[in-house]
Amino acid sequence: ARIQAELAQSIAAAKEQENKVKQQSAEEVAKARERSQEEIRKAQEEARLRVKEANAKADEVQKQYATDLANSKQTAEDRIKQIQSEAANAVAEARKKQQETVSATAEEVVASREKAAAEIAAAREKAANEIAAAREAQVRAQQESANAIAETKRQSAQMVLSIKSAEADSVRIARENSANERQRLASDVAAAREKAATEIAAANQQAANDVKTARENAAREKQLSAEAVGKAKQEAADMIASAREASAKEVAAAKQQAIEAISLAKKDADDKKAAFAKEVAESQDRARKEVSDARQQAAAEVATARKDAEEKRRLYAEETAEARKKSAEEIASVQKEAAEAVQKTRQESAAAIAGTREDEARTVAEIKAQSAEEIGKTKSETARLIAAENKKAEDARQRQAEETQKLAGLQAEVKKAEEELRKLKEEAEKAKKKE
């Protein structure tokens, strides 16, 4: 009975010790779980704040870029308007001067020049509209690129949060499961880690594909813009060439009309001369002196008319050449300044786009690096906690094995004592029988 009582006390003490160990292990697991959850919550909050700060910075950069692009566009448009105004003023001044020096023929030339100027203005307006449309397309492409990058950031953040949530669930399940399920928990954790790595790789690949697609769209829009500008320039050049050709044809027609007018004047003079000669022949006797004076006067008038016609022709040729030269110089100057403005705008746009893309790429890289670092920290902390829990469970199993071994020894001693007691009873029975 004493041995059985001691055995019962040992078993009760072993069970009590085992319960204490289990309770301590549960308390430590609960504390570790709380610490892990708190650290994970802090890491998630910090990551959220960093992502929010990066998004705000990206939005600020995008707004600044849009403002700079609008300012450069407005400056280019103001410069183009100024150039067009100066060209219009110069053409108007040339037309005014030409109207003062030339009468009927000059009016025709002015009309042809006005027509050419109208065509040139239409070509410039068309080119400006196409350039504006190209710029708007470029801005839309940049906005689409920014939206795609923002969407990629959001998806990456959601992916990281889901991965962290999955890992937190895995840790919670690992802590709640018993020792017999820890092997399965290890395989689940490995599968979760592999799945997380696969999802992170897929997210990175998706982000890279989105960025690549956005860049290709921007490059395609830029190529289309360049082609549209080149086409507009070619159309403007063709219209200017056709206007020049029409002006040359009208000038040639005006020259032909002047030549015909001079021929007609000569013919009229010859007819008058013949009439005077006929009158002189008929009244030679009556007015020889008058006929002689009339001939001299007619010759003087013809010479004066020829001289005036020649002088007008020379002045007209000089003014036409000067007007052509000025028009060509003005058109070349306007085209040069417009090309320089477009080139400057393109360079500024390209520099701004490159800077924005570089900032966005750097921001995305920083966010990915921070996310990877936080995921690594979370995984390391999770692995450390799991290892600590496994070690504690292993220690508990070892202590339980030791207690079990002690219990087995006590049971063996009890069995041995029972055997000795049985032998003593048998000896006592034998002794009673002998008595």
| 312-345 pLDDT, tens digit each | 778 767 876 776 677 667 666 766 776 676 677 6
pLDDT at 82 over 60: yes
**pLDDT-derived band at 424, boundaries 50, 70, 90:** confident
C-alpha–C-alpha distance, residues 350 and 72, integer Å: 12
C-alpha–C-alpha distance, residues 323 and 91, integer Å: 9
The tokens of 57 are what? Answer: 């910075």
C-alpha–C-alpha distance, residues 336 and 328, integer Å: 12
C-alpha–C-alpha distance, residues 215 and 364, integer Å: 15
Helix axes 2-101, 104-176, angle to 10 degrees: 180
Over the stretch 12-67, which tens digit does the pLDDT of each residue have? Answer: 776 787 677 667 766 776 776 777 677 767 766 776 777 677 667 767 766 776 67
C-alpha–C-alpha distance, residues 170 and 178, integer Å: 14
Helix axes 2-101, 288-434, angle to 10 degrees: 180
The tokens of 85 are what? Answer: 């105004």
pLDDT of residue 104: 47
Over the stretch 259-313, which tens digit does the pLDDT of each residue have? Answer: 675 567 567 656 766 665 676 567 666 656 765 675 676 567 667 767 876 787 7
pLDDT of residue 344: 75
* Closest by Cα among 258, 295, 290, 293 to 275: 295
pLDDT at 405 over 70: yes
DSSP state of 101: H
pLDDT at 194 over 60: yes
C-alpha–C-alpha distance, residues 50 and 372, integer Å: 13
pLDDT of residue 57: 72
pLDDT at 74 over 70: yes
pLDDT at 420 over 70: yes
Average confidence score pLDDT of the chain: 67
pLDDT of residue 96: 74
Q: pLDDT > 90: what percent of the chain? A: 0
The SS3 call for residue 277 is: helix
pLDDT of residue 105: 52
Q: Which residue has the tokens 């403005």?
A: 341
Q: Is there a contact between 389 and 32 (Cβ–Cβ < 8 Å)?
A: yes
C-alpha–C-alpha distance, residues 386 and 392, integer Å: 10
DSSP state of 1: -
Over the stretch 131-164, which tens digit does the pLDDT of each residue have? Answer: 676 567 666 756 765 676 667 567 656 765 665 6
C-alpha–C-alpha distance, residues 126 and 226, integer Å: 15
The tokens of 43 are what? Answer: 């890491």
Mean pLDDT, to the nearest integer, of 153-177? 62
Give backbone dihedrals phi and psi of 253, rounded to 5 degrees, phi first. -65, -40
**pLDDT-derived band at 100, boundaries 50, 70, 90:** low
DSSP state of 180: G
Cβ neighbors of 397 (< 8 A, separation 6 or more) are 179
* Closest by Cα among 394, 392, 391, 386 to 36: 386
One-letter amino acid at 414 equals V
1-10, 270-279, 394-403: range with highest mean pLDDT: 394-403
